[in-house]
A and B are shown apart, each in its own frame.
Chain A
Amino acid sequence: MNNLLKFFSIMIFYFVVFLTTLVNAQISTGGDASLKFGESKNNFNYSEVLLNMNVSNDYMTTWFQFEYSNPPEIGLIKNGLRKFRVDYVGDNIELSVGDIYKIWGRGLILNQFDDQDVDLDNGYRGLSFGLIENDYSLNLIAGNSNISNITSDYMYDLDLEVRKPNYFPKHSLFGGDLEFFRGPVSFATSFLQSRENHPINAGMQPDSIDVIHRIHGLRSGYEGNSLSGYVELANKLTLLPTSMGNDDHEDFRPYNGTSLFANLNYYFNMSPFDGWSLMMEYKNYNATKINPDQRNNYVNNYDMNLIFTQPPTVIREHSSVLLARLIPQVNFNDEVGYQLSLVGPVSNLGYFTLNYQAASRTSLWAKEFPDTVNALFSSKWSSDSSITYLPYDDDVTFPYNELYVEMEGYINKIRYQLGLGFTNKISEYHSLYSSAQNNSWDVGESFTDLNNSGTWDLGEPYDDLYSIVNERLENKYTNAITVPTLFNYNLGNGLSIDLKYEYQRLKSGVNYNFTLSSDEYFEDLDGDGLWDMAELFTDDNENGVWDDAEDTWYDHWLNGWITDDLLPDYDTNGNGEYDIGEQFSDADGDGIWDPAEAFTDLDGDGIWDDGEVLDDMNNDGVWTPKGTYVDSTRSNFYAYDGDSDEKLAQEFQNNHMLTIGLGKSPNWSLSLTIESSSAYEYGPQPLSISNPLEDLLGNIMDMENKWVAIDLMININSNTRLDLMYGTLRGGVICSNGICRYVEPFDDGFKLSLTSVF
């Protein structure tokens, strides 16, 4: 089938070229090419060529895209035709055949793009028809879409480098969008249906089910002089097959919800705020309700929003690298939030920006244990059914907020930009729990009724079920203060200097909360009803246990192992007690008699007492009663102690990023980027390989925990640009179009990028 498609594509291409030669005067041809090549010592290697070719006249455009990659930076290896499309644009009619990307409104129903940075291509291959009149427009679409994703939730073909997709749902699409214009007001209605072939986890062999998604939408916009507004609403319905064909999935019930997006802009026209604007955005994406453990698992949750739904994130995009790293992954299925942005000129100093944004999931979730007796097998997540209009601040809802202020402008030939950002977020939430037998009879537990009383009586045997629940809540938090700055100085004659410095004080770690639903069980040896802890002692030999004095001849004589007639052989000075130099049992073999380790004799019995046996559910080392909460925090960061080389926990990580650039218009620009971090992050550390650039800089600074890269851009001519990078790049999460992916560090290598238009 693929070969047939390729054959037809090439035939169409040659047919268009043939027509070109016949009517050459009306035809325009051209294209562009981009070449990307990267090689690093940590094996992040790629080679990718993309070639776009266009043939067009006043009404028709034909586009072909070829890819030659082995392997690409991210995605599947491809060699040959990747995309093609023929567009007809008439006075009022548009017709497209081939690989199509459409957007309706702000994308609550349909927003298609080909974003190679995160390897998301949610376009479709098919037909699109458009009718555009002065007061209305109509768009009808139909076709098929093969989406590729990387997810560890799908158990098959997972790529450890997280570069190669392993999950491929298929969609058969059709839909329509009708929009009306009346003066400053527009109004539209849309419908989209997808029949999805959804791969599922099904034991040893992959399987799939057919799911139908339907989305209906309404939207409206207003364009006034001092006010403009926009609102869009989308309702999603998911239909599953009557039998899922797999017992694990039979109980799944789709949630069908509604998503809302609104935007209001106000432009001030009165002094002293003339020229100022206030932008307000609001999102309430309530397409599904998925518990914190399953939130990002679109493999097992068939009702998650369609991949074609890519609505606004309602989160500011930052040009600051350090701030951009803190942007959370937006959940298009389940998120409520808003953004306020006030921007305006401040005298002749420049422009001031104040931006505040907050977001969270739409529901509060809690873990419940409906069966209090046999709690181990009965836990489940439950959420409130109420509709929220503003973001929560409860950790279970992944709250996020950011306050950002910025001033930018010109002072003579210097362009400046000074920012300050405060970010707080919870990015993960886990609820773990454990159960144990509580050594007491609970209502509901079976027992042997020896005296036929009908009730359990002391001494009667019973089935002690696992009923103590220790719920352990963990949340991953991040708090940061970031100061991005940028200075650009125009030296004249086309020369300019760029200085970009960013500082970030980052606090990140895990908060632990424990909840005990029953008292911790202990063996009450002395019958006092209280747990007795071990008596404190000085562990002289550091073996972790209390050690009594080493036995001497005196102890052996008291035990009768030495008879009185042999005493003179042991008690050499005849004083009746042990003296240094006399015989003893040298347990630790150090040749010296060791006395008993000192201890605090709590009960005054003269002997050291160990603690009573404890079932330490929360691992805090002491007995904890029911309902007690023990909070603790572990930072994500550590540094090495200079003397002992031991890991020392660090509360903060101070990050610095400095870029110094020199540019000559219009020919070239050169930049050096140095990033440094004061602390390491727990987790696997990439192998650090020093390169000549780092060796050179090592003469003037400590290169520990630093990443250095040099970048040269040359405009070979107005159509061709060459970009060369050499050095080391810090890995991390990159986000694009609300989708994030982790990028592996790039250690000691070079990247080449050549783009050309012809």
Chain B
Amino acid sequence: MIALISSFLSAQDKVPNIRLKMINGKYAKLYDFLKEGPMIIDFWATWCEPCKKQMRYLDLFYNHFKPTGFNVLTVNTDSPKSMSKVKPYVRTKGFEFNVAVDPNSQVKKRLKVQEMPTTIIIDQDGSILYRHKGYVPGDEVGILKAITGILDKKGIEYLPLDLDKVQAIKKKEKLNIDF
């Protein structure tokens, strides 16, 4: 029992280097996404409304912080019954982040994810730096703070990101779409 307690107290909370099946059918390992910097791993499903609300911010973070080596991996947990919708959803929304599929929730369980969405920020060595369950509007501010905090700590330079401004610009761009 002493061994148990001492090990739990002294060991770091790291994610295991699990194997992932990517949306294109190929396999990858979790640590492949940590080669150039820290990353966000986010769990979502096409039927999960709060997940979908959060995803546009994740895509924004991915595109904005990509030059710093920061990565975003989303893990879709749709079961086979709705898996066919995942690719069209990602393509239609124009999301550019990495997408893995976890149709029988085994990756989700290994990363101790109980609710969706769950957002985890992982350092390059696999240690968990930030974890957040659920999404209500405003949570994206907390995630952004966590990202910039990690980059600041590592001394990595990045362009500042103003969420309100970006949304206004995006809206303007959309107005130009021909239909």
* Residue of A whose beta carbon sits closest to that of B177: A347
**Contacts A32-B114, A106-B80, A344-B92; is A319 near B7 (CB within 8 Å)?**
no
B130 beta carbon closer than 8 Å to chain A: yes
Contact with B along A198-234 (1 / 0, CB 8 A): 0000000000000000000000010100001010000
Is A111 within 8 A of B106, CB to CB? no
A367 beta carbon closer than 8 Å to chain B: no
A121 to nearest B CB, angstroms? 12
B25 beta carbon closer than 8 Å to chain A: yes
* Residue of A whose beta carbon sits closest to that of B12: A28
Interface residues of chain A, those whose CB is within 8 Å of chain B, are: 14, 17-18, 20-21, 24, 27-32, 34, 52, 54-56, 58-59, 61, 63, 87, 89, 94, 101-103, 106-107, 111-113, 132, 137, 181, 186, 221, 223, 228, 230, 263, 265, 267, 271-272, 275-279, 281, 310-319, 341, 343-348, 351, 410, 415, 417, 486, 488, 490, 493-496, 663-666, 669, 713, 715, 718-719, 721, 737-738, 755, 757
Is A718 within 8 A of B112, CB to CB? no
Partner of A494, one of B83, B131, B138: B138
**Contacts A20-B7, A275-B94; is A106 near B138 (CB within 8 Å)?**
no
B79 beta carbon closer than 8 Å to chain A: yes
Is B80 within 8 A of A107, CB to CB? yes
Is A669 within 8 A of B136, CB to CB? yes
Partner of A665, one of B85, B109, B139: B139
B175 to nearest A CB, angstroms? 5
**Contacts A317-B47, A663-B136; is A272 near B7 (CB within 8 Å)?**
no
**Contacts A21-B7, A28-B16; is A186 near B81 (CB within 8 Å)?**
no
Q: Which of chain A's residues have a CB closer than 8 A to the CB of B80?
A: 103, 106-107, 111, 310-312
Is A757 within 8 A of B83, CB to CB? no
Interface centre among B10, B16, B18 (most CB of A within 10 A): B16
Q: Which of chain B's residues have a CB closer than 8 A to the CB of A719?
A: 131
- Considering the complex, which residues of chain B in the window 102-142 have a beta carbon less than 8 Å from any beta carbon of chain A? 103-106, 109-110, 112, 114-115, 126-127, 130-134, 136-139, 141-142
Is A56 within 8 A of B138, CB to CB? no
Partner of A137, one of B17, B27, B85, B126: B27
Is A490 within 8 A of B4, CB to CB? no
* Residue of B whose beta carbon sits closest to that of A410: B171
A273 to nearest B CB, angstroms? 9
State the interface size on chain B (CB cutoff 8 A). 67
Contact with A along B135-179 (1 / 0, CB 8 A): 011110110000000000000000000000000000100110111
Q: Which of chain B's residues have a CB closer than 8 A to the CB of A30?
A: 13, 112
Is B112 within 8 A of A54, CB to CB? yes
Sort A-B residue pairs by CB-CB distance and give the 10 closest, nearest first: A665-B138, A28-B14, A494-B138, A663-B136, A277-B88, A313-B81, A20-B7, A496-B137, A348-B174, A32-B112
Is A666 within 8 A of B139, CB to CB? yes
Is B89 within 8 A of A715, CB to CB? no
Is A103 within 8 A of B104, CB to CB? yes
Q: Which of chain B's residues have a CB closer than 8 A to the CB of A318?
A: 47
Is B83 within 8 A of A312, CB to CB? yes
Q: Which of chain A's residues have a CB closer than 8 A to the CB of B19?
A: 89, 94, 132
Is B81 within 8 A of A315, CB to CB? yes
Is A496 within 8 A of B136, CB to CB? yes
**Contacts A272-B178, A665-B137; is A267 near B91 (CB within 8 Å)?**
yes
**Contacts A132-B19, A265-B84, A666-B142; is A29 near B11 (CB within 8 Å)?**
yes
Q: Which of chain A's residues have a CB closer than 8 A to the CB of B12?
A: 28
Q: Which of chain A's residues have a CB closer than 8 A to the CB of B3?
A: 14, 17-18, 20-21
